[in-house]
Structure 1
Amino acid sequence: MTSEVTDETAVDAARRRMLELIASGSLEPGQRLGSERELASDLGVSRSTLRQALGVLEQSGVVRRVPGRGGGTFVSRAKIERDLSSVVGVPALLRAQGFTAGSRVISASIMGADDATAAALELEPGGLVTEIVRIRLADGSPVSLEHARLPASRFPGLLELPLGGSVYELLDEHYGVRPAEALERIEAVSAGPDEASVLDITTGAPLLSITRTAKDADGVPFEFSHDLFRADRTRILVRTPGAAGTADSARARGRLVDLQAWSAP
């Protein structure tokens, strides 16, 4: 029996060939790859070399491995860029990047504000807020879970409007309110059973948690929200001014930050 020997050159060649197949559309986002034997034969490499190449691609988020009988290795879906330098609704963000935007409204109600919400919206403790909980979809696949809270007295009748699209567009059209600035706090968290269920991921999978307070042109806060984005579908774009007032970036004006998938401790 001949032992399989791999080296960095062979692994890199296999990795590059896989990337070429994905870039050309021969392998599409969400597609399940064939067996290791078939794939190794197609690429002309040993199975050991293929496993190492797939391991590198998985670490960089290009492919994902799902255990179990119905699992396998899949091409990862395209990532959504979240630009922190602008305040836009998720539907507009998705449409601008070529995705078909969708939403599922989980709940919509008027409730008393907790201390954190009241402080963020500058309300009296227990003041009434409209809470909207939705799942955001990109090309029919869930990408984020959104909890938005807005002062109920400022937006009367909001619950009677269609909430499946952009709330920002509704606020602009019906109340003349537009976001002028937003303060966002971002951290990586692990998905609990409930979040994993609605976002179609495994419990413990990484999420990008964004807590946002949006203000209007007069500096008055009108939205306090908490969004959970799938880390395997999200990329952060940070625009950093350079010394000459321009932005140095991986994309001419920004710095891309990939939130790599990691296992929960």
Structure 2
Amino acid sequence: MRNLEVGGEALGDMPDLQAPSTDPSHARIASWLLGRFGAGRIRADDRLPPEEQLAAALGVSRMTLRQALGSLESRGFIERRRGRSGGNFVREPLIEVDLSGLPGFTELMRRANVRAGARIVRAGLVEATSEIASALDLGRQRDVIEVVRVRSARRRPLALEETYLPAQLFPGLLDRSLTGSLYGLMREHYDLSPHHAQEWLEPEIVSDEHAVLLEIEPGSAVMLVTRKASTSSGVAIEFARDRYRPDRTRISLNTGVDPGAGAELLVEPV
């Protein structure tokens, strides 16, 4: 842990808050601090200068500074700790996990400008459980390809992926490299890829096995994303359970209003 000093080498030059701008001062202060983090001048677990001292150096009121720090706190960049050794501490930025548009993990990390990594826990042919068989519309052929991987970002575990694919649709998949994008393999070698999906998001308490794989404490909570995906023609090709560490990720979705649903809500009962 480092204690940053106002005007010190870590923080660098103060922002010019008198320069013309359409952004309010607190937003410019937040952007400036983010820039210090992005440039490597501020690191995770650094303690920022006391609020009174930092506000004076910036030439703003403590209220304005607290608005800036509150904005960063809500976005996961700052943690406020109480007590004699407390203060405003820099956190590792949360990685945005934008599930819109059915991206795979590799694409998610590309969007977040983070290099994706993968460690295979197990991969093989297994018999589908009733839940998986129902999700994949399997008949008598109950064999599925199971791929379980720990996905990492910034060289630390971020998610645990548990993926099941119909074996008859992807012959030879297990002979290929499984450390990259599975969706990429599906498109390139089998001309199949997810086009529609139904996803469920719910918190889950991790098992001891999952805690070890994700390098978190047993009994910790994760965000479980369960997914059933199909092709544009309606062929079910994937059932997956992805478990994300909430201390390292923030899940987002881009949504819109269904015009049909809106029209229905406007109809008054007779």
Q: TM-score, normalised by structure 1?
A: 0.69
Equivalent residue pairs, number: 224
* Equivalent residue number for residue 255 of structure 2: 239
Listed as ranges, the matches of 1:80-159 within 5 Å are 80-84=96-100, 86-124=101-139, 127-159=142-174
Letter in 1 for 2:46: L
Identity within the alignment, %: 30
- Deviation by residue 1:91-131 (Cα, 9 ceiling, x = unmatched): 01211221111111111011100000010111136711110
Q: Structure 1 residue 222: deviation in Å?
A: 0.8
Gaps of at least 5 residues in structure 2 are: 1-25, 57-67, 82-87, 260-270
1:216 and 1:222 in contact (8 A); partners too? yes
Letter in 2 for 1:81: V
- Deviation by residue 1:182-213 (Cα, 9 ceiling, x = unmatched): 11111122333332322233333332111111
Distance in 1 (CA, whole Å) between partners of 2:245 and 2:133 is 28
* Equivalent residue number for residue 214 of structure 2: 199
- Structure with greater Cα Rg: 2
Distance in 2 (CA, whole Å) between partners of 1:206 and 1:163 is 27
Residues 122 and 82 (structure 1), Cα distance of their counterparts in 2 relative to 1, 3 Å cut: same
* Equivalent residue number for residue 4 of structure 1: none
Q: Structure 1 residue 30: deviation in Å?
A: 5.9
Residues 134 and 19 (structure 1), Cα distance of their counterparts in 2 relative to 1, 3 Å cut: same
Q: TM-score, normalised by structure 2?
A: 0.68
* Equivalent residue number for residue 199 of structure 2: 184
2:76 and 2:94 in contact (8 A); partners too? no
Distance in 2 (CA, whole Å) between partners of 1:102 and 1:173 is 20
1:115 and 1:125 in contact (8 A); partners too? no
* Equivalent residue number for residue 165 of structure 1: 180
Gaps of at least 5 residues in structure 1 are: 1-14, 46-52, 67-71, 244-265
Q: Secondary structure at the match of 2:123?
A: strand
Matched, 1:79 2:92: no
Distance in 1 (CA, whole Å) between partners of 2:239 and 2:205 is 22
